Amino acid sequence: MVPHPRGAGRYAPSPSSDLHLGNLRTAVVAWLMARTSGRDFLLRIDDLDVERSRVDVAERQLADLAALGLDHDREVMWQSERADAYTAALASLDTYECFCTRREIADAVRAPHQQPDAYPGTCADLTEAERAERRRERPAALRVRAHGVQHTVTDLWAGEVTGCVDDFVVRRNDGTAAYNLAVVVDDAAVGVDQVIRGADLLNSSPRQAWLAEQLGHRAPTYGHAGLAVTADGRRLAKRDGAVTLADLAEVGVDTADVLGQVAVSLDLATPGEAVTAETLRSRFDPAVRPGPWIVGEGAGPVRGRR
């Protein structure tokens, strides 16, 4: 895997359930951002969570992206095949074992300046004897020592985002690499220098950018696209009716209709207009922020053109 001089963007679904309209729209935006900036567009399956990841779901996600006309470069990367790379990265970080349960972390007393969700540092300075004792009770997670630094990223659309980097988990206590580590290692390994994803991950970006630098990489450019929401402001979910390509097809909305509705939501088409991914590419302006999409407004996703 050799980083390409052109740079790359990517889309990286977790294969726990089929892609819904919001995921599909984010993928379209990521593809447009990569393709209109001369970058490669890569796909990665984030299947580290063995309990929730399913190969058949991953295959359907890839098929859905292809059906929308989002072509990709190089081979699809699967996080489940990348354990060696994560182990190597962990070895280069200043980490410590953490034995805390979620409950203990939630109940811990924090210093006034600490964010409520920041790790309070309980296990940061255990002695070797204390660690040996705790290891008998439960397996340890590994946390990276970040010393509570502030880190700022500049999001393409949201502007400057500053976050306090706490000692976050880089290896879970089941031995698997943690999401924040895996994402950073994988993006760097294949030269991803543009990360476009949903706004729910905006707050992860200061930690991830900081970690990239700790690992000797240049942090990518970030752009967080607005999420798909329901008319009453909730994040779109599977229970909101026909929201995947397969479900929509059953109610008579075909893939071309869905792409058309995504395009309308991005102001790249008028309702009912037939478009292809290539049409959108010629109309797309990367400077325009893709805001939230209120699904169900206007034409609505569950009504087709027929």
β-pairing verdict for 141-144 and 169-171: antiparallel
Per 3-state DSSP, the chain is made up of helix, strand and coil in percentages (nearest 5) of 35, 20, 45
Q: Nearer Cβ to ligand GLU, position 14 or 194?
A: 14
Q: Applying CB under 6 A, does 14 fall inside the site for ligand GLU?
A: yes
CA distances from 186 to 40, 134, 212 (A): 15, 32, 10
Structure tokens of 44?
């990665």
Q: Nearer Cβ to ligand GLU, position 12 or 24?
A: 12
Give me the torsion for CA of 79, 81, 82, 83, rounded to 10°: 110
Q: How many residues bind ligand GLU (CB under 6 A)?
A: 7
Q: How far apart are CA 171 and CA 174, in angstroms?
A: 8
**Interface region with ligand GLU, contact rule CB under 6 A, candidates 10-18, 65-73, 159-167, 242-250:** 10-18
Q: Nearer Cβ to ligand GLU, position 83 or 299?
A: 83
> At closest approach, how far in Å is the CB of 196 from ligand GLU?
8
Considering only residues 23-82, where is the footprint of ligand GLU by CB under 6 A?
Answer: 46
**Interface region with ligand GLU, contact rule CB under 6 A, candidates 9-17, 107-115, 250-258, 288-296:** 9-17
Question: What 8-state DSSP symbol labels residue 291?
Answer: -
Q: Nearer Cβ to ligand GLU, position 29 or 280?
A: 29
Which residue blocks in the chain are alpha helix, DSSP H?
21-35, 55-67, 83-91, 102-107, 128-135, 179-189, 205-214, 245-250, 255-265, 277-283
Considering only residues 270-299, where is the footprint of ligand GLU by CB under 6 A?
Answer: none
> At closest approach, how far in Å is the CB of 251 from ligand GLU?
25
Asked if residues 200 and 227 have their Cβ atoms less than 8 Å apart, the reply is yes
Q: Quick one: which of 13, 22, 226, 260 contacts ligand GLU (CB under 6 A)?
A: 13
> At closest approach, how far in Å is the CB of 13 from ligand GLU?
5
> At closest approach, how far in Å is the CB of 193 from ligand GLU?
14
CA-based torsion, 45, 29, 252, 238: positive or negative: positive
Q: Nearer Cβ to ligand GLU, position 24 or 100?
A: 24
Q: How far apart are CA 276 and CA 72, in angstroms?
A: 16
Structure tokens of 191?
């030269």
Q: Nearer Cβ to ligand GLU, position 123 or 190?
A: 190
Q: Nearer Cβ to ligand GLU, position 49 or 97?
A: 49
Q: Applying CB under 6 A, does 236 fall inside the site for ligand GLU?
A: no
Binding letters toward ligand GLU, positions 182-221, x by CB under 6 A: -x-------------x---x--------------------
> At closest approach, how far in Å is the CB of 23 from ligand GLU?
8
234 contact partners, CB below 8 Å, separation of at least 6: none
**Interface region with ligand GLU, contact rule CB under 6 A, candidates 8-16, 132-140, 233-241, 280-288:** 8-16
Q: How far apart are CA 275 and CA 265, in angstroms?
A: 13
Q: Nearer Cβ to ligand GLU, position 60 or 275?
A: 60
CA distances from 86 to 15, 78, 142, 169, 207 (A): 20, 13, 12, 13, 17
Positions in the binding site for ligand GLU (CB under 6 A): 12-14, 46, 183, 197, 201
